[in-house]
Structure 1
Amino acid sequence: MLQRVAVIGAGAAGLCAARHILSRLNCFAPPVVFELTDKVGGTWCYDERVGTYDNGLPVHSSMTNLPKEVMMFPDYPFDPKLNSFLPHQEVQRYLEGYCQSYNILPHIRFNTVVESVKPVGMTTEGGESRTTWKVTSSDPSGHRKTETFDSVFVCSGHYSHPHTPDIPGIENFKGKVLHSHVYRYAEPFSGQSVVVLGAKASGLDISIELAKVGAQVTLSHGRPRFTFPLPPGIRQSSPAVAVDEDGSISFQDGSVGTADVLMFCTGYNFKYPFLDGAELGLEIQDQLVSPLYRFMMPPAFPSLFFIGICKMICPFPNFNCQVQFALAVLDGSVTLPSVAQMEDEVRRELKEKVEQGVQQRHLLIMEQNQWEYCRTLAHIAGFPPLAPVVRSLYEEVWWQRRVHPENYRRLNYRLVSDTQWELIE
């Protein structure tokens, strides 16, 4: 009996899941991919007109902060003629090409909302208990439909629900408050004073763009101070802790400042309105979903997979490893430990991180651990591991970014072999 798989989301992770399911039609029926919008691409499906700027200013779209040589799915390279650092539209085009190349389009239901995903226990002929999934969705006409699947891949991403930390007195702020989610380009902030809260990738990139158009930027963060030269017009400060009654901002170090704009570059929350966490033995919090074995599956329901939930990773290669591991679990070539063992392992890993001082909201950040993680998945499930050149170039770009935050995207690279890359002049 072929297994039926539902895939929620037609962004990079969902397309990757569909592509690998379609390559194993001896085990799996063609997937059903549910997509909320009318396009593939998810977060890369870039709409310039979010926000209120409709004033004919020159528009530039956001750039990737990883080179295409590192971003790509291992089995589908980008066009070699393109620069290493690409605008959103090129990544969108790449995903459309991937979709076409693996004939995924016929399996996507566009403009379809998944309303609920519920586990249903059933007993097979051999007396084993097995979970199936009832997936209820509605199409644009409002027609609701409930179908049964053997497995569900949650590929709905985590870049659509902005996380805004609680700052006491924020209602006193006299200027504009926004999240980087609605930021599109810098020109409207020219000549204004902007406090940017958060200094990870988006906070730093947006600060540099704002400074270039003459905004006065205060980059407010709790990380060690950046030691590389920032453009004139950006100063660093400690975290903002409150907004006073007169609208001024108090910082952790005791200093006080004023601003026209408060820009939150503070990441996103996990939201899965179609899932009941308690029913699945999961705690779904703003910044953490737990326990997930191998960062993918609830131990009690190991036919439900969250793809791409980790942060600070090389996204497409990571999804590619997770999907192949998940399918190896489903086709029986990977045997999982018992539910209790899986729960223990997750608890132990999280406890170790907390003991090392990692804050709860950072528990899903992988950074350096991503390489060992992907290697382990490949080893257990028996698929080719990521080429070492991916890590080597990723780390080079990470270093360049620290040293030349303004110019690192001007560089172009080429992969020479599985272990070597070169800089193209």
Structure 2
Amino acid sequence: MDVLVIGAGQAGLAAGYFLKRRGLDYRLLDAGAAAGGAWRHGWESLTLFSPAAQSSLPGWPMPPTPGGGYPPRDAVIAYLTAYEARYALPVQRPVQVTAVRRAAEGLRVEAAEGAAWTARAVISATGTWSHPFVPQVPGREAFAGRQIHSARYRRPADFAGQSVLVVGGGNSGAQILAEVSRHAARATWVTERPPVFLPDDVDGRVLFDRATARWQAEREGRPAPPPLGGLGNIVMVPPVVEARARRVLHSLPPFARLEAAGAVWADGSRVAAEAIIWCTGFRPALDHLAPLGLVEADGRVRVSPEGQALAEPRLWLLGYGDWTGAASATLAGVTRAARAVVAAILP
């Protein structure tokens, strides 16, 4: 086999599209029971930050959302499912890849189900969703209430009438705080630094354009362009705009520790809580690469600008974040990164 792709979410499908166009012998292995990648696990009200036309994989635009606006989670899942079928991409699922090892003929990929494959090149596109990150806050084990990561959050009604801490800034923290605050008895937002909001007319299109400008500058050896007007990182999607009107988009700095009944700050102040929603991000899902000895202390693999592992030229990484290609963890940005990987993998 020429190429084996581990993961068939948006990054894996984009790679599959370009591999198919090259006429290579390839296969995609996916741990999910159905198509849709990480989007299948997002909370019920999750939406994209950009219109459908700016959120498409290579070859086929995402159908526009009826009535306009940003595509909801279920529309993205339907699009990825249809995309996989449209191009007849050879996805095999569910397959839980457990190890990638060096072999004389290439790289050997082993699965929990007992199967194994050998390919001349492997593209790892497993994303981050399966590796949610929760910080080691003192007293976390002593907290008597419910704790979940945003990866497991589904709907605000699950917290109706409760006192809730939403921990973490960024878009997930802002969106979850916005809707939970309408149902909870009390919702308290805790962020590492004061949240900064993008202007109302800025969405994912502008963010992608900025990422593209940075990528082009780096490729050409020029200084990256300065931030435009001090823009922050939270997109003002409709639920966040509505929360602003209710004056709930304010946060407290990080607490010093947790106790059974809530959080305690360094000055001794307390906030009672019955539940904590950790919106504290994810780490790359790279456990399957452990046998290669490439994953460093920061949880990443050192790669070239095209995503090739520097210490194992038969391995490529795609879609984990800007370190594997500018905006490569987004629907809008993964096309460029996937094209570059496939163009370089078997010239």
Name the TM tier (shorter chain): 0.7 to 0.9
Residues 67 and 145 (structure 1), Cα distance of their counterparts in 2 relative to 1, 3 Å cut = same
Superposition map of 1:74-85 within 5 A? 74-80=58-64, 82=66, 83-85=68-70
Is the contact between residue 127 and residue 285 of structure 2 (CA under 8 Å) also seen in structure 1?
A: no
Residues 151 and 248 (structure 1), Cα distance of their counterparts in 2 relative to 1, 3 Å cut = same
The answer to whether residue 135 in structure 2 is matched with residue 151 in structure 1 is: no
Letter in 2 for 1:12: Q
Letter in 1 for 2:62: F
Letter in 2 for 1:101: R
The answer to whether residue 290 in structure 2 is matched with residue 276 in structure 1 is: yes
Letter in 2 for 1:162: P
Match of 1:18 in 2: 16
Superposition map of 1:100-249 within 5 A? 100-104=85-89, 107-121=90-104, 132-139=106-113, 144-226=114-196, 229=244, 231-233=246-248, 235-244=250-259, 247-249=261-263
Letter in 2 for 1:21: L
Letter in 2 for 1:92: I
Residues 204 and 178 (structure 1), Cα distance of their counterparts in 2 relative to 1, 3 Å cut = same
User: Which whole-Å CA distance do the structure 1 matches of 2:295 and 2:173 have between them?
Assistant: 31
Superposition map of 1:366-381 within 5 A? none
Residue 339 of structure 2 is aligned with which of 319, 324, 327?
324
Gaps of 5+ in 2: 198-240
Residues 276 and 108 (structure 1), Cα distance of their counterparts in 2 relative to 1, 3 Å cut = same
Match of 1:43 in 2: 38
Secondary structure of 1:18's counterpart equals helix
User: Which whole-Å CA distance do the structure 2 matches of 1:273 and 1:290 have between them?
Assistant: 12
Secondary structure of 1:78's counterpart equals coil
Is the contact between residue 261 and residue 274 of structure 2 (CA under 8 Å) also seen in structure 1?
A: no
User: Which whole-Å CA distance do the structure 1 matches of 2:141 and 2:65 have between them?
Assistant: 50
Superposition map of 1:370-409 within 5 A? none
Is the contact between residue 3 and residue 122 of structure 2 (CA under 8 Å) also seen in structure 1?
A: yes
Letter in 1 for 2:20: L
TM-score, normalised by the number of residues in structure 2: 0.77
TM-superposed CA distance for 1:113, in Å, is 2.0
User: Which whole-Å CA distance do the structure 2 matches of 1:208 and 1:304 have between them?
Assistant: 41
Letter in 1 for 2:161: G
User: Which whole-Å CA distance do the structure 2 matches of 1:235 and 1:87 have between them?
Assistant: 26
Match of 1:32 in 2: 27
User: Which whole-Å CA distance do the structure 2 matches of 1:250 and 1:204 have between them?
Assistant: 22
Letter in 1 for 2:273: A
Match of 1:257 in 2: 271
Is the contact between residue 197 and residue 240 of structure 1 (CA under 8 Å) also seen in structure 2?
A: no
Query: CA deviation digits over 1:225-244, x for unaligned, max 9?
Result: 45794634554100122024
Letter in 1 for 2:98: E
Gaps of 5+ in 1: 49-59, 123-131, 333-425
User: Which whole-Å CA distance do the structure 2 matches of 1:257 and 1:295 have between them?
Assistant: 47
User: Which whole-Å CA distance do the structure 1 matches of 2:296 and 2:266 have between them?
Assistant: 31
Q: Which has the larger radius of gyration?
A: 1
Is the contact between residue 7 and residue 152 of structure 1 (CA under 8 Å) also seen in structure 2?
A: yes
Secondary structure of 1:317's counterpart equals coil
TM-score, normalised by the number of residues in structure 1: 0.64
Query: CA deviation digits over 1:354-380, x for unaligned, max 9?
Result: xxxxxxxxxxxxxxxxxxxxxxxxxxx
Letter in 2 for 1:289: R
Residue 77 of structure 2 is aligned with which of 68, 92, 103?
92
User: Which whole-Å CA distance do the structure 1 matches of 2:58 and 2:264 have between them?
Assistant: 47
Is the contact between residue 33 and residue 109 of structure 1 (CA under 8 Å) also seen in structure 2?
A: yes
